[in-house]
Structure 1
Amino acid sequence: MCKILVLYHSNSGNTAKMAHEVASGAKEVTGAAVRLLPIEEATSGDLDWCEGIALGSPTNYGTVSWQMKKWWDEQPIENWGKRDGRIGCAFSSAASWGGGQELTCMTLNTILINYGYLVFGVTDLTGPQHTLHYGAIQAGEPRQDKEIAGCRRLGRRLAEWVAVFFHGRHDLHPLEQGYDRFGHLKSGDA
């Protein structure tokens, strides 16, 4: 069983909506157990439990929320290094496009790297001009099909990587899947 934690902070509810879609995507992988938790309810025990984590924060002034940063800052020092080799990814929402969501994802990924998580990007397109190289990003809440699909693809990809690396399920490697990875990309669209 793949153990996936979707851990998030949300100011207005937009990042929470993304988190629900990320969790839905992870559940698409057979055998995935998913915990969906806001940081107000999560403990370091949830980090002990998971093999993979999707970490989400709103973009505040081009970076993670202070609540998310504080949550990680307050993790017990005894846990440092105990999560080496687990898998992580990031997602973020801001009020508008160009608000720093990719920077926020990179900061979330940096936090995870400092704890020993192996982070990944997603090369897939989930619709025209919509990809999630650094994590799933959003302006407001996910409304369009390609935005919802981006969040779900991030969660699914996390569960796939956990299945491959923790459980030897090479049949779940992303390159072995039949779903559209290029969002109907046509020659010259890139």
Structure 2
Amino acid sequence: MDVKILVLFYGYGSIVELAKEILKGAEEEGAETRLRKVRETIYPELIEKFHVPLDNTKDIPEVSLEDLKWADGIAIGSPTRYGNMAGGMKTFLDTTAPLWRAGDLYGKPVTFFTEASTIHGGHETTILTMSTYAYHFGMIIVPLGYAITEISSTVTGGSPYGATHLSSKKELDENEIKIARFQGKRLAQVAKKLKNS
């Protein structure tokens, strides 16, 4: 039975690259996938002033509530903003009440990823802030644990909580890519087991 995986992110730059690697991991596990973005909420004048690189998201569709209903498993990612998810992601998640009321996400597996500009910039707390939605929906949180050795050998690219990236490095390193792909595979594996049970 095919499993459907949604990889959802807010932001630009390296968070997009992490999302794509998680997507590849799910596809390696045979999943049908969708990559979706949350609408950008930065003021247009700031996008121009700070040269925000939105080019790498222009061909990615914006997420809808139907995408969440469609998925058997979901990966959610946001850059950290002061140890919390970005406001754009929270704004979108706050619109999901119809799914909560209908129980549409109950029992679905979910996993989280992030990036921050410093090593201690809130990687794990950002994942925790996103995870609170999963508790209210009755979703099954899929952490990484220490099942992949790269988690123990990197200081920038992930933890038992999920894949992360140190954005001051610009490009993902080999450990970050392996961890992100593992996360996508693991999500697809758990989704399959739950769908077939």
Report the secondary structure of 1:147's partner residue.
Answer: helix
Q: Which residue of 1 aligns with 2:5?
A: 4
Q: Which residue of 1 aligns with 2:121?
A: 99
The partner residue of 1:69 within 87, 90, 93 is: 90
Q: Which residue of 1 aligns with 2:58?
A: none
Give the share of equivalent positions with the same residue, in percent: 31
1:114-125 equivalence runs, <5 A: 114-123=136-145, 124-125=147-148
Contact between 1:91 and 1:105, CA under 8 Å: does it hold in 2? yes
Contact between 2:14 and 2:172, CA under 8 Å: does it hold in 1? no
Contact between 2:27 and 2:33, CA under 8 Å: does it hold in 1? yes
How many residue pairs end up in the alignment? 166
Contact between 1:5 and 1:35, CA under 8 Å: does it hold in 2? yes
Distance 1:78 1:88, change over 3 A: closer
Q: Which moved more, 1:116-125 or 1:55-64?
A: 116-125
Residue 29 of structure 2 corresponds to residue 29 of structure 1? yes
CA-CA distance at 1:66 after TM superposition:
0.3
- Give the letter aligned to residue 125 of structure 1: I
Residue 88 of structure 2 corresponds to residue 89 of structure 1? no
Distance 1:107 1:46, change over 3 A: same
Under a length normalisation based on structure 1, what TM-score does the superposition of the two structures give? Answer: 0.82
CA-CA distance at 1:125 after TM superposition:
2.9
CA-CA distance at 1:126 after TM superposition:
4.1
Contiguous gaps of at least 5 residues in structure 1:
169-190
Contiguous gaps of at least 5 residues in structure 2:
40-61
Residue 156 of structure 2 corresponds to residue 134 of structure 1? no
Greater per-residue helix proportion: 2
- Give the letter aligned to residue 68 of structure 1: M
Q: Which residue of 1 aligns with 2:56?
A: none
Q: Which residue of 1 aligns with 2:193?
A: 164
Per-residue CA shift, 1:135-157, capped at 9, x if unaligned?
11111155221111011111110
Contact between 1:126 and 1:150, CA under 8 Å: does it hold in 2? no
- Please list every run of at least 4 consecutive aligned residues from structure 1 whose deviation after the TM superposition is greater than 4 angstroms: none
Q: Which residue of 2 aligns with 1:187?
A: none
- Give the letter aligned to residue 165 of structure 2: Q
Contact between 2:99 and 2:105, CA under 8 Å: does it hold in 1? no
CA-CA distance at 1:129 after TM superposition:
2.1
Contact between 1:7 and 1:36, CA under 8 Å: does it hold in 2? yes
Under a length normalisation based on structure 2, what TM-score does the superposition of the two structures give? Answer: 0.79
The partner residue of 1:150 within 156, 179, 182 is: 179
Q: Which residue of 1 aligns with 2:20?
A: 20
Q: Which residue of 2 aligns with 1:176?
A: none
